Structure 1
Amino acid sequence: MTQKLFLVKTLLLFVTLSLTQFSNAQEKVKVTGTVVDKDAAIPLEYATITFIDKSGDRLPQGGVTDFDGNFNVDVYKGTYDIKIEFISFETKTYNSQTLNGNLDLGTITLGINSDSLDEVVVTAETTQVEVRLDKKIYNIGKDLTTRGGTVNDALQNIPSVSVDVEGAISLRGNENVRILINGKPSAMAGFDDTTIFQQLPADAIEKVEVITSPSARYDAEGTAGILNIILKKEKTLGLNGSVNATFGYPINNSVSTTLNLRTDKFNIFNNTGVYYRKSPGNAYFDNNYFSGTYDRIIEDREYDRLRKGINTNLGIEYYLNDQSSITGTFFGKWGDDEDESESISDRYIDDALDSSTYRNQLEGEKEETYQGSVNYINNFNGEGHKLTADLQYSYDNEDKPNNIVENKTFPTNELVESQRIFENQRQNEFLLQADYVLPKGDAQFEAGFRINTQSSKTDYVLEDFDLDTQEYYLDEGQSYNFDYDENVYALYTQYGNKLGDRFSFLLGLRLEQTELKGNAYSDYLTQDELIEEIGVDFDPNFDKNYLGLFPTVNLIYEIGNDENITLGYNRRINRPRGRYINPFPSRSSTTNIFQGNPNLNPAFANTFDLGYLKKWDKLTFNTSVYYQKETDAFERIQQDTGNTNDDGVAIIRNQPINLATDERIGGEVGLIYNPTRKLRLNGSFNIFRFETEGFYEGVDYGTESTSWFGRFSAKYTLPAEIDIQTNGIYKGPTQNSQTENDAIFSLDLALSKEVIKDKLTATFNIRDVFNSRKRNSYTVSDSFTSDSEFQWRERQFTLSLIYRFNQSKEDRMKEKGRNNGAGLNEEEGDF
């Protein structure tokens, strides 16, 4: 018994000594210090301190500096090489430091790395591309031709993206593209009305993500893919910002400011712009009719669009701790626009002029848009484990008074028609979403949900002028209401991992429930009378539900550090929007109207994308081929309604319909070449072929066509440090079942000079140098032919002045390093 007790005591003593020894071996010490800029004597936030174990038994340990440049790191006892690093600064190393107790390294000064200085300047001044598993990221850089321009002008210079003369945005020639702002649907995107991008300044953009193979994380909307516009949010220490003033002819005047105040707990940022612009445009139509009163009508139209208003985006980011933050933002836009069009129409019978009319339409638009959002992000560690949550509400109210007067000018002078229209549109949007990311070594798991509800109400009142009583009266048959709701509920999950050193994959599945509800009604007509007045043979009231699974597969094979191959597959949906399903006809013309189609169903598409990227020191080469097959694809057709206006002119209706299939195959190639510090070249080329099949009301609207578009940009530094840049865009001819569009070529030119170093820059810009950005079309239908030319905006000259304060080049380079190290508010993580 005594022997057993002795053995137990001996064993306990051995265990106790072993645990004590192990505890001593695992004991930590504290290392402190401060990192500052050697030249400016200011603290460097988010500089990294790394402890590399000399024995190789432990993984590297470390931390980052705080707002005041201080660090406080707990490290296991041992011998280490200590590295202090900050991007664009020289690295400082303390070799073979034995840590047996707490150590204060004092003040550590870092100087600018001259080699890195050159690299960062070049990177900042050119558009760069990064390839991820599910997207390409284009950092806009200092594109001179967009100075003083709008978001649309900036998008013109993104490969794969094209913007037509009316401002419609396409991706690889397909207009069914989803626009996101900072990764979310936004009132800043104008509730799917992209004309707002003709008003927001291009300088507000930091980068654009072209997502042609979206992962399950993203909304399945947009059969062409997604454009995610990331707006700037400065994070430099203290108060800093810029003021941008633009003066242009035709009138294009604006002032915008970017302000940022950063403390150790808060980051307050604001972008505000005030603008006053006039955009003259023109159109010409030569229509020949196979039946009706007139054989030919030639219409010459002039536009004068006035845009004036203010928009602001204010945000406050509060750092709860080193890992989490909460951000509240408010966006507001107040606009008072006015569109005036003047049309002269000559009407012919047997090649002889029969009559002429003059039509004046003055349409106003007073708009107020508000959006409030709250974002929470929690980085559980520095390895990508995080949770984000977003709550967002948007409201938009538009009043559109419209006055139309038409007079006959030949052979007599008399009033033909006068109308007053009062239209009000109100839209509400609610968004709630959460995303969770859990990395495990090379693997990464993600899951999340999104609830997105939208509702819109349109009230439309038309008053006609009575030529006998000389008074306006309510036209009960043309006054209506239309309510539309779109609700989307989504769940998703995805998983990514690496197989070996070179192959990675990302697999995802998204479940979406879509509810589409429409209700057309009148205060004066029965439902049957309303349907007859609209002129459709189906009920404009609907309640549709769609439940769909949307899988995604993204693969990447890394041939080398700067060379890879990607392959992606995804299924997408294209939901009809308000204008496309509003059954009431437009009033912009008595003979050419646009009318939505409440019977329109969503389109679904399957897309495959194969890409290749190769980077050299001065050249980046990027290419891809893609294939897409879409069912129930949208197609806009023109039809003779069978009705005529009061003058006996046939009324032509432009309406969207569902066709059977739309098959598209294409390829694109892009090059970014920076041979010297003075010369930078950027070019891209996209060619695609599509084939559409389908019948509507017994008419075959199938067609096939090949088209292409390309762009080329060159920037060169002249003597006296004057930068010159040209951007050329060529869009090849296109056609659908009824219309052929001619090719379009346009050229932009800009000159820029830094007047006060790091403070004031002046840029002179000519957009559309040859005044050639016009769409020429020829349309053939069963009842008419139409030869037309349309120019949304004439050639424009602008002078832009940008004044920056507390934003020297060195500050901006340091900020690049902080952003790379901070990790709190980066966009959604990518595997």
Structure 2
Amino acid sequence: MTTRLLILVTFYLTCEWSGVVAQTSPKMYEGKVLVRGSEAPLEFATIKLLSVDSSLMEAGTTSNAKGHFELQSTLDSVVLEISFIGFSTLRHPVSLVNMGSDLGVFHLEEESRGLDEVVIRAEKSQTHYELDKRVFHVGNDLVSTGASALDVLNNVPSVYVNIKGEISLRGSSGVRVLINGKPSVLAQGNTLGTLTADMIERIEVITNPSAKYEAEGTSGIINIVIKKDQRQGVNGSVTLNTGVPNNHSLGFSLNRRTERLNLFTQIGIGHRTFPEEYETENKDLAEMSSILSTGKSEMHERYYTINLGGDYRISNNSTLSISGRYAFESEEGDSKTHFKHLSPNGQTLSEWKRTELTEAPNPKWQYEAIYKNLFKSKIFSDSDSESKEHSLIVSATSDYFAKDQVSNYSNEYTSGETGSTKQETLSDNTQNEYTFKADYTNPLSSKATWEAGAQYVLTSVSNEYAVNDLIDGVWIIDPDLSNLFDYKQKVIGVYTTGSYELEKLGIKGGLRLESTTVDTQLATTGQSNSQAYIDLFPSIHGSYKLHSDLSLQLGYSRRILRPSVWSLNPFFSIQNNFNIYSGNPELQPEYTDALELTSIYDFGAFSVNGSLYYRYTTNSVENITTFQDNVATTMPTNIGTSKSGGLEFNAKYMPNNWISVNGDFNFGWIRKFGTFEESVFDFHADQWTSRITSKFNLPADISLELIGHFNSRRQTLQGTVSQNVFADLGIRKKLMKGRAIVNLSVRDVFASRIYEVNTFQPEFTNYSWEKDGRFVTLGVSFGFGKGDAMEFSGQKAF
């Protein structure tokens, strides 16, 4: 660890010195940006000085709260470019020869919407629609200010995040989450909590991805794009959170930017507790006996994390970015479960208490290097309202994850039997992942663009798992529940896409080829399994603008969902040794063909978009539960094919500046055909979900947000999952013109979020019930320098 930190610090100092040496006595210029008509200052407008000869950026900055900006230049003639989302970009040739320091006042006009973009404006947060994705721009409002990435995601249309950080898209968990277009340990569940809204430029929701994106994820992709702070100087923030149950954290963020160099660091420390209540019942219908259990558990997490990195502009057309992240997480868990074994007439045959104590240190590393080169050719559109960069981006990412977990179990009998039994599980898990990626974009004209690229992802996991029983004072290994599982997956992908856009019509097509090899081995038994397959993934998307307020989009893509290492590992959990989850090393990947039709309608204060979607899946995976000796074992299994589809609506109403209402509704159906244990089945079910979000901007810089969620009851292959109704609340007070923020959030206000599953089979029934409870968090943050207040959310370290 010390060596790695020294490398990062050396890079930091080297780049700092290089940035100083590279200065060539430029001259400082200043100006002001206003909104035409209202003459109001425009904050955070992007100002660039472009070379007249190459159209490449020579200097850049953003405007402050008064619309004022300053930047430096060594050129005699430049093109001044001023842009801001929702406004037409201004380009103005300027001769700097014999000119003073004042460039003058510039006005931006609100732009009219183009073919493939419909903008829904609200407090600087905007959603727009492109040929193959929806883009949510994170703005300075209640949803984003001081929030974590998980909080932001939970307010993005089509996306749902539960209280444990599990993400679903249109009700399906087969979603791929990327950071800056690449796999990352940052994108794994609650670890997204370490990304704050101030770090995020936009979130791309891609329900029907083009061939440019990796084919993983049958329900689509969520890509979180981290922004690069354009504000020069020193910026930072400090945040303190406290909550019930334990949710305490202290975060510090610092950024320093010069003309060529941008250095950043974040440090955080925190403690969180995840409580849970649960009940289960296993009933043998042949003997009519049953096993009942009730209990409570708590998982305590203590962590610290440090992020350090920088961007260095090597020249006017090339940039190198290097970053490193380290986190250490310590988990301590305990649970107490009360078991009863009942006879057919309800008499207690035996009764005992099972306790668990778990410890798991968890270090994580991530390194990333990105090189971006802008070629001299840059295509401007006919209206000059936007430009398309001719670029090459090459990146390399290395992720490391380790977890050494020890769990001790004790069974104390109170009736039926005497004495006690003890068990322990030892799990030593390490994961390495390497991602290499190259993307090339060539704007052939203002209407046509060609893209090509390649990606290589290598994942290697080793999991040593042992279950020991204490017999006559000696720990004896249980060979039926112990193993050493090794997993290695290689995915190589290449793609090409082409797009052509006219005034009303746009089309984008592409083809991706991916080669996958997967090798698994149970070292304790010598059992091995290898898979190798090559797949083609075509995509085509089109859009047509019927009139200025109504557009239609149609898209098709082919997707894959590869089994994860935990789905393949045949032994996973015996926390409750009457309800066991086991992976399946024979599991095959799912393949999905997806078709989607979307309409986008925007008129003033009200906007709505609706989508019809259909998916056909082969090798469909279903969690199957089997029963023997009162033990229910759940295992993922390929059970045949499935057809699914649905209707989705997203609507927003904003009658004035102080209130807005968002509504999301999704109705989905599924039909599965297949064979399980020589029985042919035809399974049909439907479900629907909805969410209503109300935001109020109150006097004295106070904001209020209320969110209501409803997930309907749904049927599964072997049973049912109960409906789910809950509400969230947020109150925020801004101080010192937004530099300080006090935020109170309550998740699951009425503690009504319950997960209940019933399994019905001819030979047995299985029932499980879980509840996490209410979370209340109070946060205070302060921004200094040119920075704004931001929140280090207190979620898991990355």
The interval holding the TM-score normalised by the smaller chain is 0.7 to 0.9
Report what 2:207 is aligned to. Answer: 212
- In structure 2, the CA distance between the partners of 1:543 and 1:422, relative to structure 1 (3 Å rule), is same
Report what 1:452 is aligned to. Answer: 457
How far is 1:652 from its partner?
A: 1.3
Q: Does the CA contact (< 8 Å) of 1:661 and 1:693 recur in 2?
A: yes
Residues 108-257 of structure 1: pairs in structure 2 closer than 5 A = 108-110=103-105, 125=123, 127-141=125-139, 144=142, 150-164=148-162, 166-190=164-188, 194-197=189-192, 204-257=199-252
Question: How big is each residue's C-alpha offset from its partner over 1:71-91, in whole Å with a ceiling of 9 and x where there is no partner?
Answer: 566779xxxxx9874659999
Separation in 1 of the partners of 2:300 and 2:614?
Answer: 41
- In structure 2, the CA distance between the partners of 1:44 and 1:487, relative to structure 1 (3 Å rule), is closer
Q: Which runs of 5+ in 1 are unaligned?
A: 1-31, 53-58, 77-81, 117-121, 528-539, 645-649, 813-831
- In structure 2, the CA distance between the partners of 1:682 and 1:465, relative to structure 1 (3 Å rule), is same
- In structure 2, the CA distance between the partners of 1:422 and 1:176, relative to structure 1 (3 Å rule), is same
Q: Does the CA contact (< 8 Å) of 2:321 and 2:370 recur in 1?
A: yes
How far is 1:784 from its partner?
A: 1.6
- In structure 2, the CA distance between the partners of 1:195 and 1:637, relative to structure 1 (3 Å rule), is farther
- In structure 2, the CA distance between the partners of 1:490 and 1:714, relative to structure 1 (3 Å rule), is same
Q: Does 1:360 align with 2:360?
A: no
Amino acid at match of 1:108: L
Separation in 2 of the partners of 1:464 and 1:339?
Answer: 20
Q: Does 1:437 align with 2:441?
A: yes
SS in 2 for 1:188: helix
Give the stretch that moved more between structures: 356-365 or 686-695.
356-365
How far is 1:50 from its partner?
A: 9.6
- In structure 2, the CA distance between the partners of 1:151 and 1:699, relative to structure 1 (3 Å rule), is farther
- In structure 2, the CA distance between the partners of 1:609 and 1:312, relative to structure 1 (3 Å rule), is farther
Give the stretch that moved more between structures: 759-768 or 85-94.
85-94
Separation in 1 of the partners of 2:264 and 2:303?
Answer: 21
Report what 2:3 is aligned to. Answer: none
Q: Does the CA contact (< 8 Å) of 2:138 and 2:197 recur in 1?
A: no
Separation in 1 of the partners of 2:212 and 2:692?
Answer: 33
- In structure 2, the CA distance between the partners of 1:683 and 1:329, relative to structure 1 (3 Å rule), is same
Q: Does 1:749 align with 2:729?
A: yes
Give the stretch that moved more between structures: 769-778 or 102-111.
102-111
Amino acid at match of 1:331: R
Q: Does the CA contact (< 8 Å) of 2:46 and 2:82 recur in 1?
A: no
Separation in 2 of the partners of 1:550 and 1:70?
Answer: 47
SS in 2 for 1:196: helix
Q: Which has the higher contact order (CA 8 A, sep 6+)?
A: 2
Report what 1:514 is aligned to. Answer: 516
How far is 1:452 from its partner?
A: 0.9
Q: Which runs of 5+ in 2 are unaligned?
A: 1-26, 35-40, 62-69, 112-119, 380-388, 791-798
Separation in 1 of the partners of 2:494 and 2:200?
Answer: 30
Report what 1:480 is aligned to. Answer: 483
Among 579, 594, 603, the residue aligned to 2:581:
594
- In structure 2, the CA distance between the partners of 1:664 and 1:806, relative to structure 1 (3 Å rule), is same
Give the stretch that moved more between structures: 481-490 or 561-570.
561-570
SS in 2 for 1:694: strand
Q: Does the CA contact (< 8 Å) of 1:726 and 1:749 recur in 2?
A: yes
How far is 1:733 from its partner?
A: 1.3
Report what 2:761 is aligned to. Answer: 781
Question: How big is each residue's C-alpha offset from its partner over 1:236-279, in whole Å with a ceiling of 9 and x where there is no partner?
Answer: 11111222221101111112233211001101122333220111
- In structure 2, the CA distance between the partners of 1:486 and 1:780, relative to structure 1 (3 Å rule), is same
Among 322, 337, 341, the residue aligned to 1:343:
337
Report what 2:292 is aligned to. Answer: 298
Separation in 1 of the partners of 2:147 and 2:77?
Answer: 52
Separation in 1 of the partners of 2:42 and 2:763?
Answer: 75
Q: Does 1:545 align with 2:545?
A: no
Report what 1:19 is aligned to. Answer: none
Among 570, 574, 579, the residue aligned to 1:583:
570
- In structure 2, the CA distance between the partners of 1:448 and 1:422, relative to structure 1 (3 Å rule), is same
How far is 1:439 from its partner?
A: 0.6
How far is 1:789 from its partner?
A: 1.7
Q: Does the CA contact (< 8 Å) of 1:775 and 1:790 recur in 2?
A: yes
- In structure 2, the CA distance between the partners of 1:124 and 1:64, relative to structure 1 (3 Å rule), is farther
Separation in 1 of the partners of 2:647 and 2:428?
Answer: 44
Q: Does the CA contact (< 8 Å) of 2:83 and 2:90 recur in 1?
A: no
How far is 1:547 from its partner?
A: 0.6
Report what 1:288 is aligned to. Answer: 283
Q: Does the CA contact (< 8 Å) of 1:722 and 1:752 recur in 2?
A: yes
Report what 1:768 is aligned to. Answer: 748
SS in 1 for 2:574: coil
Amino acid at match of 1:545: A
Q: Does the CA contact (< 8 Å) of 1:774 and 1:790 recur in 2?
A: yes
How far is 1:185 from its partner?
A: 0.5
- In structure 2, the CA distance between the partners of 1:803 and 1:413, relative to structure 1 (3 Å rule), is farther
Report what 2:776 is aligned to. Answer: 797
Question: How big is each residue's C-alpha offset from its partner over 1:634-663, in whole Å with a ceiling of 9 and x where there is no partner?
Answer: 1101011x3x3xxxxx22110001121111
Separation in 1 of the partners of 2:777 and 2:43?
Answer: 40
Percent of matched pairs sharing the same residue: 28
- In structure 2, the CA distance between the partners of 1:387 and 1:558, relative to structure 1 (3 Å rule), is same
How far is 1:146 from its partner?
A: 7.6
- In structure 2, the CA distance between the partners of 1:486 and 1:229, relative to structure 1 (3 Å rule), is same
Report what 2:315 is aligned to. Answer: 321
- In structure 2, the CA distance between the partners of 1:508 and 1:163, relative to structure 1 (3 Å rule), is same
Separation in 2 of the partners of 1:689 and 1:373?
Answer: 41
Among 501, 504, 512, the residue aligned to 2:503:
501
Report what 2:612 is aligned to. Answer: 625
Separation in 2 of the partners of 1:243 and 1:581?
Answer: 43
Separation in 1 of the partners of 2:109 and 2:351?
Answer: 72
How far is 1:489 from its partner?
A: 0.9
Q: Which structure: larger Rg?
A: 1
Separation in 2 of the partners of 1:659 and 1:88?
Answer: 48
Separation in 1 of the partners of 2:161 and 2:704?
Answer: 23
How far is 1:664 from its partner?
A: 0.8
Report what 2:301 is aligned to. Answer: 307
SS in 2 for 1:340: strand
SS in 2 for 1:486: strand
SS in 2 for 1:152: helix
Separation in 1 of the partners of 2:618 and 2:757?
Answer: 27
Give the stretch that moved more between structures: 443-452 or 694-703.
694-703
Amino acid at match of 2:703: D
Separation in 2 of the partners of 1:430 and 1:451?
Answer: 8
Q: Does the CA contact (< 8 Å) of 2:322 and 2:369 recur in 1?
A: yes
Higher helix share: 1
How far is 1:361 from its partner?
A: 1.4
Higher strand share: 2
- In structure 2, the CA distance between the partners of 1:148 and 1:388, relative to structure 1 (3 Å rule), is closer
Report what 1:464 is aligned to. Answer: 469
How far is 1:200 from its partner?
A: 5.6
SS in 1 for 2:577: coil
Q: Does the CA contact (< 8 Å) of 2:624 and 2:718 recur in 1?
A: yes
How far is 1:176 from its partner?
A: 1.2
Q: Does the CA contact (< 8 Å) of 2:89 and 2:108 recur in 1?
A: no
Residues 618-657 of structure 1: pairs in structure 2 closer than 5 A = 618-640=605-627, 642=628, 644=629, 650-657=630-637
Separation in 1 of the partners of 2:571 and 2:500?
Answer: 51
SS in 1 for 2:315: coil
How far is 1:409 from its partner?
A: 1.8
Separation in 1 of the partners of 2:691 and 2:434?
Answer: 38
Question: How big is each residue's C-alpha offset from its partner over 1:781-804, in whole Å with a ceiling of 9 and x where there is no partner?
Answer: 23221333212x210111111211
How far is 1:44 from its partner?
A: 10
Q: Does the CA contact (< 8 Å) of 1:421 and 1:463 recur in 2?
A: yes
Report what 1:806 is aligned to. Answer: 785
Q: Does the CA contact (< 8 Å) of 2:449 and 2:499 recur in 1?
A: yes
Q: Does the CA contact (< 8 Å) of 2:51 and 2:58 recur in 1?
A: no
